[in-house]
Amino acid sequence: MTHYRADGSGVNQTSGGYYKRMHDYFNEHKSEGSNRSQIAIQHRWALIQKAMNKFYGHKEAIDRLNESGKNEQDRIDNAVQMYERTEPFTIMHCWKILRNEAKWNNKFLELNNSTSLDGMSSPPTQVHTAAGHEESGNENIDTSHPEGRDSAKRRRSKSFTETSSSSTAVEVLQRLQEKLEKTELKHQQMAEILSRKDKIQRDLFNLQKKHMKMSMQQKNKENEIREKESETQLISAESSIISIDIEKVPPYLKSYYLGMQRLIMERRRFISPSNNED
């Protein structure tokens, strides 16, 4: 960035000479252990130009909207958000350095003619850079001609139209992305509802199972109580029969009570059914 701002060479300098000076500047000011070739420096600068051009297009589109209530920082933040829908914006420091440089601003429309907002490079036979160089198949031959006023107006008008179209495309993609996000959110909510429904059904099944078990246990206890009550009543009745004094009952009842007493004794296993008593 510092070399770009300080470079006072003319626009007709070759790109080879420009990048050599940039590489020399890097070697003079590099930190210990840092080492980059001239090709690496040239590639890095091309990436910065590409990202700067794309971000500049987003910022211009935001500025044209001229939304009320938004200051400059708000518009910068909006442009960053638009940029980062596809990739992170990591060169804010570069943009802050170059944004007010006349050399950069004068070349912005020309950059838009050779590079789209999406970073698509122009044909390799001729590439314009932000430093004002023209790269071609032969670096030593400058085939450019002075541009007329009408031609410049048409070029700026075309660039503005392309920028507007790109901004519209970005807005359409933004709306599509928002729609996709809403659809995905609905799917997630539906999945959560179905998951909760399954859990409720499992809990209900377990509750019913527990209720049936408790009902069965209660029924068994009630049966136990009834059996004990019946046994108590039977013992009470048997006791009444066993305790009867046979000598005091009428003669016609003696055989009945003797038989009943015998049956009770046999059932209670006090005597064997095979025993015979007079």
Average pLDDT estimate for 216-221: 92
Local confidence band at 233 (pLDDT 50, 70, 90 cut-offs): very high
Pairwise CA distance, residues 75 & 64, whole Å:
10
Least-confidence region, from 22-31, 82-91, 154-163, 250-259: 154-163
Pairwise CA distance, residues 186 & 193, whole Å:
10
Residue 173 Cα to chain centre, angstroms: 19
pLDDT at site 176: 87
* Buried residues in 227-262 as b, exposed as e (16+ CB within 10 A): eeeeeeeeeeebeeeeebeeeeeeeeeeeeeeeebb
Asked whether residue 107 carries a pLDDT value surpassing 70, the answer given is no
Pairwise CA distance, residues 167 & 57, whole Å:
8
Which of 43 and 138 is assigned the larger pLDDT? 43
Residues 6+ apart with CB under 8 A from 17: 9
**Torsion angle in degrees (nearest 10) through CA of 82, 83, 85, 87:** -170
Q: How does pLDDT run across 241-263, given as a tens digit for each residue? A: 988 988 888 999 989 999 998 99
Residue 157 Cα to chain centre, angstroms: 41
Local confidence band at 41 (pLDDT 50, 70, 90 cut-offs): confident
Tell me, what DSSP letter sits at residue 124?
T
Q: How does pLDDT run across 137-183, given as a tens digit for each residue? A: 444 434 444 556 666 666 666 666 666 666 787 888 888 888 888 99
Pairwise CA distance, residues 178 & 157, whole Å:
31
Q: Where are the domains of the chain?
A: 2-144, 244-278
In the block, residue with structure tokens 């070399």: 3
Q: Cβ of 55: how many Cβ atoms within 10 Å?
A: 23
Residue 141 has φ and ψ, to the nearest 5°, of -115, 125
Residues 6+ apart with CB under 8 A from 23: 36, 37, 38, 41
Tell me, what DSSP letter sits at residue 136?
E
pLDDT at site 146: 54
Say what the pTM is: 0.35
Q: Cβ of 274: how many Cβ atoms within 10 Å?
A: 6
pLDDT at site 67: 86
- Extract the tokens encoding 133: 């160089």
Provide the β-strand partners of residue 127. Answer: 135
